[in-house]
Structure 1
Amino acid sequence: MYDQPVTIQLTHDQALVLSDWLYEVTMESDQLSAIVTDRAVWSPLHTISGTLDKTLAEIFMPDYVDRLDAARRRLREAMGGDDEPT
Structure 2
Amino acid sequence: MDEDAIIIRLTRDQAFVLSDWLYRVMFQSDDLEGIVHDRAVWSPIYSISGTLDTTLSEIFMPDYGPRLEAAKERLRADLYGETDGSTAPGEDTTAAPQAHQIERGTTGNHGKSGHG
TM-score, scaled relative to structure 2: 0.69
Aligned-residue CA RMSD (Å): 1.4
Deviation at 1:82, TM superposition (A): 2.9
Percent identical pairs in the alignment equals 58
Unaligned runs of 5+ in 1: none
Higher mean C-alpha deviation, range 34-43 or range 75-84: 75-84
Q: Which residue of the partner structure matches residue 83 of structure 2? A: 82
Higher mean C-alpha deviation, range 46-55 or range 2-11: 2-11
Q: How far apart, CA to CA, are the structure 1 residues paired with 2:2 and 2:41?
A: 15
Q: Which runs of 4+ in 1 moved over 3 A?
A: none
Q: Which residue of the partner structure matches residue 4 of structure 2? A: 4
Deviation at 1:4, TM superposition (A): 1.4
Corresponding pairs, count:
86
Q: How far apart, CA to CA, are the structure 2 residues paired with 1:2 and 1:9?
A: 23
Residues 17-60 of structure 1, C-alpha deviations (whole Å, 9 max, x = no match): 00000011011112211111010000000000000000000100
Q: How far apart, CA to CA, are the structure 2 residues paired with 1:7 and 1:82?
A: 30
Within 5 Å, which residues of 2 pair with 1:39-78? 39-78=39-78
Unaligned runs of 5+ in 2: 90-116
Higher helix share: 1
TM-score, scaled relative to structure 1: 0.92
Q: How far apart, CA to CA, are the structure 2 residues paired with 1:2 and 1:18?
A: 29
